[in-house]
Structure 1
Amino acid sequence: MRRLTPLVLAFGILLTLVAAGPALASSYRYWSFWDGSAGQWAYASLGPSMARPADGSAWGFRFAVSKDAGDEAARPRAAADFGAVCGATPAAEGKKRVAVVVDFGLPADAPSGEEPPQDAPRTACAQIAPDATAAEALAAVAKPLRYNSAALLCAVSGYPKQGCGEPLAEGPGTASSPATATASGPADGRDSASPAGSGPSAGLLVGIAAVAALAAAALWQSRRRRTR
């Protein structure tokens, strides 16, 4: 029975860590950034201060609660349709036109005491300099914007009034509508799709437990050889 103790202990560690994995996971409430250049929304690979939209492209911003960056359910609810947004805006010399979609999300995703400014997504055609960024396109049509010290986009058109990418505890009252926000502002080009502070994944915990189990098994084998 004594020989089995290390293995039993390791198996106990494994079960404990795996059980703890979901409890450590968090959802986040934040603004996400989407590239609609191909006519469909795709989670942007660059932050808005680094992305330089081409003339005739569409870019979207969505406020929601999500656990995973790029969650499809958190895409802007308006189509990535440049023509629908900018079709009535004539081209101007020395300017490019960019369709901007701002989706303030669902009431369930709003911070306590706040409501989205409007139910439907807002669309606007930004006319900006040829080398302007997506952040500049957003600023042209949806001020005021708010960023935190880490250049995370915290508010669009003043919404929300407070908070910035805060983690939300999992539980029955947690909003289920996912969101992906982009953490890139004019200060730098960082794009933090997953806000800092998330706990280790269940896969990582399982890996740690597996290493612990192997170490315990090796110790048991070593002791067994010495007793022969």
Structure 2
Amino acid sequence: MIRRVAAVLGAALLTALLAWSPAQAAGYRYWSFWERTGDRWTYATQGPSTARPDDGSVQGFRFSVSADSADAARPRGTAVFTAICAGVPERDGAKRVALVLDFGTAADAPSGESPPARRTACARVPSDATTAEALAAVAKPLRYGSDALLCAIAGYPERGCGEQVSTTTGGRPAPGPAAPGADDDGAGPSVGLLAGGGAVVLLGAAAVVRARRRGRE
């Protein structure tokens, strides 16, 4: 009897845990910052407010939904300094920074907004300027959050800043916005599910105790 109850208990708990699917994970909608090395994009190790690129640098920004830096989408299209800054001559005391601004896809856009077309710009700024200052020279208005997170470039998006959204296995936003205050953070089964699993465990333990008592009588 005890073995039968334990088997039922185990099956019920396993079913509850499997009900949580990692295919519905958590992602964040934000601007990622990239540096161009040769013909490849590399995720920047500094933020735009502290990075100080050299003259001739190519840097990029991409708006998308991703879980982390390993999952982040790179800026699309070619990115050649000589092409982007062809019409901007050198100047003493200044540097030129080529910027690639990729506003992402419609699937990544916040509800009710459409991404502008990808564009490039050449910022000529003082030689000690940061990437943020170069960006401000060619892509206003910029919008920052209270934690200094870059929220919008050239006014896009109009709302939101690094908000959490539900994503599918392929990393694309799931249909519909994530519910405010949702307790599924993509790290494991939700609190509600664990509470349900705990209830199953408690009921199963009570059944085992009752079975043992009947066996002693």
Question: TM-score if structure 2 supplies the norm length?
Answer: 0.70
Shift of 1:18: 5.9
Aligned match of 1:106: 105
1:77, CA displacement in angstroms? 1.0
Structure 1 residue aligned with 2:52:
52
Structure 1 residue 24: deviation in Å? 6.5
> In structure 2, do the counterparts of structure 1 residues 6 and 109 end up closer, same or farther at CA, with 3 Å as the change threshold?
same
Partner of 2:144: 147
Output aligned runs, 1:136-215, within 5 Å. 136-170=133-167, 176=172, 198-200=185-187
Count of matched residue positions in the alignment of Structure 1 and Structure 2:
179
Match in the other structure for 2:126? 129
Name the residue aligned to 1:34: 34
Cα RMSD (Å): 3.0
Letter in 2 for 1:168: V
In 2, the alpha carbon distance for the partners of 1:148 and 1:112 equals 19
Match of 1:85 in 2: 84
- Report the Cα distance in structure 2 between the residues aligned to 1:8 and 1:95, rounded to whole angstroms: 73
Name the CA distance, whole Å, in 2 between partners of 1:8 and 1:130. 71
* Letter of the structure 2 residue corresponding to residue 96 of structure 1: K
Shift of 1:147: 0.7
For the residues of structure 1 that align with 2:86 and 2:108, how far apart are their CA atoms? 32
| 4+ runs deviating over 3 angstroms | 1-19
1:62-73 equivalent positions in 2, closer than 5 A:
62-71=62-71
The change in CA–CA distance for 1:175 and 1:201 in structure 2 (over 3 A counts) is closer
11-20 vs 80-89, which deviates more? 11-20
Structure having the higher strand fraction is: 2
State the percentage of identical aligned residues: 55
Local SS of the residue matching 2:22: helix
The residue type equivalent to 1:107 in the other structure is A
Q: In structure 1, give the amino acid aligned to 2:186.
A: G
How far residue 78 of structure 1 moved from its aligned partner, in angstroms, is 2.5
User: 1:220 maps to which residue?
Assistant: none
Deviations 1:75-115 (A, max 9, x none): 11132311111122110100011101111111222111111
After superposition, the C-alpha distances for 1:128-187 in whole angstroms (9 at most, x for unaligned) are: 122211111111110000011111111100011101111112469x9828xxxxxxxxxx
Instruction: Quickly say closer, same or farther: Cα 1:30–1:161, change in 2 above 3 A.
Output: same
Contact 1:24 1:200 in 2 (8 A): no
Quote the residue 2:114 is aligned against.
115
Distance in 2 of aligned mates of 1:156 and 1:162: 11
Structure 2: runs of 5+ lacking an equivalent: 174-183, 190-217
Q: Comparing both structures, which one devotes a greater share of its residues to helix? A: 1
CA distance in 2, matches of 1:136, 1:158: 16
Measure, in 1, the Cα distance between the counterparts of 2:41 and 2:168: 29
Cα displacement string for residues 20-52 of structure 1 (whole angstroms, at most 9, x for unaligned residues) = 351662122111111113332111111111211
Relative to structure 1, the CA distance from residue 4 to residue 150 in structure 2 (aligned partners, 3 Å threshold; closer, same or farther) is farther
Q: Distance in 1 between matches of 2:54 and 2:14?
A: 50
Q: Does 1:25 align with 2:21?
A: no
Provide the rounded CA distance (Å) in 2 between the counterparts of 1:98 and 1:129.
11
